[in-house]
């Protein structure tokens, strides 16, 4: 009798296990075939929702979204705030054996020591996508946006707080992580001037910005290198460059919200993405650098040689990761609010 009851209990539990995984990620940030293959391999249906900025993701989680999604893909700098607000669930390494594939450079990052809550997904840079018929040579400076005399047509700014402020800070010779109030005041004035320029198409997400460029409505756009490379598709009419003043690096990560409906499926999904072959497919699809060391040798050779994917040594010297600044993060919030509201 006890064995029968135990079997019934196990069957009931199995039936109760949700067969759905809810993924909340950046627009067009995963190859659809990878999703299909995960569904076939696990029997778990994936439902995807999209966001256009880390700030949008954070606001959604704070509004109860931490109980609506199983896997999210936040960028490095927003993660400490999510941890502090208790919006993330600790990972169970035993359920992610493919963690061994992670490049040592991306293990135990400063924003999440020990990878307690996150694991690397893809990494890249923010730069300038441009029309090569307008810019005969790659733009050398962010001045093509910030100096009215050097603007050559309509352009878009990036609708992401720390990246866009970071670019402004680099342009005036400061670190992307500077909290100097005088420097931030200069950046506010700089970005307001650019925003209110007759050539400005305002702040745009990466996908919408590239579509404006491809639709000949803009000649330049601040975008992630992944969006530029994937959208251009090798079309020589479009280029991507990192201006001489420098810009930001980013590492996007997989994480599980604190009250995820199906954390078991979430761990299976994270482990699936960390598989060497899947990781290579993901990087190839996104035209992106990968933190998956086992995946890198399986990537397309042309991507491994592309400086728009893997920045040169000289470019790396003027690229910075965005780092949290604790209490002083409010200075960025205040600066961004002033820029967006005027």
Residue 164 near residue 301, CB atoms below 8 Å: no
Q: How confident is the model at residue 18 (pLDDT cuts 50, 70, 90)?
A: low
Backbone angles phi, psi at 249, to 5 degrees: -100, 155
Model confidence pLDDT, tens digit, residues 274-309: 999 999 999 999 989 999 999 999 999 999 999 889
Residue 81 near residue 324, CB atoms below 8 Å: yes
**Residue 250 reports pLDDT greater than 70:** yes
Q: How confident is the model at residue 119 (pLDDT cuts 50, 70, 90)?
A: very high
Would you state the pLDDT for residue 16? 44
In sequence order, which residues have a C-beta less than 8 Å from that of residue 156 and are 6 or more positions away? 200, 201, 202, 203, 204, 208, 209, 212, 213, 218, 220, 221, 222
Q: Please tell me whether the overall predicted TM-score, pTM, comes out greater than 0.85 for this model.
A: no
Would you state the pLDDT for residue 255? 98
Mean pLDDT of 229-242: 89
Model confidence pLDDT, tens digit, residues 150-190: 999 999 999 999 999 999 999 999 999 999 999 999 999 99
In sequence order, which residues have a C-beta less than 8 Å from that of residue 193 and are 6 or more positions away? 146, 148
Mean pLDDT of 58-78: 96
Q: Which of 94, 91, 29 is nearest to 57 (CA)?
A: 29
Beta-bridge partner residues of 22: 47
**Residue 120 reports pLDDT greater than 90:** yes
**Computed from CA positions of residues 141, 142, 146, 152, in that sequence, does the dihedral angle turn out positive or negative?**
positive
**Residue 2 reports pLDDT greater than 60:** no
**Residue 103 reports pLDDT greater than 90:** yes
- The runs of H, that is alpha helices, within 85-147 are 143-146
């Amino acid at each position: 009798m006890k064995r029968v009851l135990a079997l019934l209990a196990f069957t009931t539990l199995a039936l109760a296990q949700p067969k759905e995984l809810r993924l909340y990620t950046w627009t067009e940030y995963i190859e659809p075939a990878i999703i299909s293959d995960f569904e076939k391999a696990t029997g778990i249906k994936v439902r995807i929702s999209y966001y256009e900025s880390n700030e949008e993701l954070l606001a959604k989680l704070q509004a109860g979204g931490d109980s609506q999604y199983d896997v999210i893909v936040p960028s490095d700098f927003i993660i400490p705030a999510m941890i502090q607000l208790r919006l993330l669930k600790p990972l169970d390494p035993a359920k992610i054996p493919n963690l061994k594939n992670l490049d040592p450079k991306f293990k135990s990052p400063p924003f999440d020591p020990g990878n307690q809550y996150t694991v690397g997904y893809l990494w890249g840079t923010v730069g300038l996508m441009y029309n090569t018929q307008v810019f005969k040579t790659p733009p050398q400076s962010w001045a093509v946006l910030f100096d009215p005399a050097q603007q050559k047509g309509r352009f878009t700014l990036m609708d992401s707080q720390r990246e866009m402020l970071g670019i402004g800070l680099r342009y005036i010779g400061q670190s992307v992580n500077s909290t100097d109030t005088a420097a931030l005041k200069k950046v506010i004035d700089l970005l307001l001037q650019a925003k209110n320029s007759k050539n400005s198409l305002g702040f745009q997400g990466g996908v919408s910005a590239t579509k404006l460029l491809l639709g000949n409505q803009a000649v330049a756009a601040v975008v992630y290198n992944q969006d530029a490379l994937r959208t251009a598709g090798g079309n020589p009419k479009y280029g991507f460059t990192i201006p001489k003043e420098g810009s930001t690096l980013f590492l996007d990560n997989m994480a599980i919200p604190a009250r995820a409906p199906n954390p078991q499926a979430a761990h299976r999904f994270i482990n699936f993405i960390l598989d060497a072959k899947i990781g290579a497919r993901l990087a190839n699809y996104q035209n992106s650098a990968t933190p998956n060391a086992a995946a890198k040798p399986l990537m397309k050779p042309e991507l491994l040689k592309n400086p728009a994917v893997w920045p040169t040594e000289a470019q790396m010297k003027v690229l910075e990761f965005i780092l949290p600044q604790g209490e002083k993060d409010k200075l960025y919030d205040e600066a961004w609010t002033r820029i967006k509201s005027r």
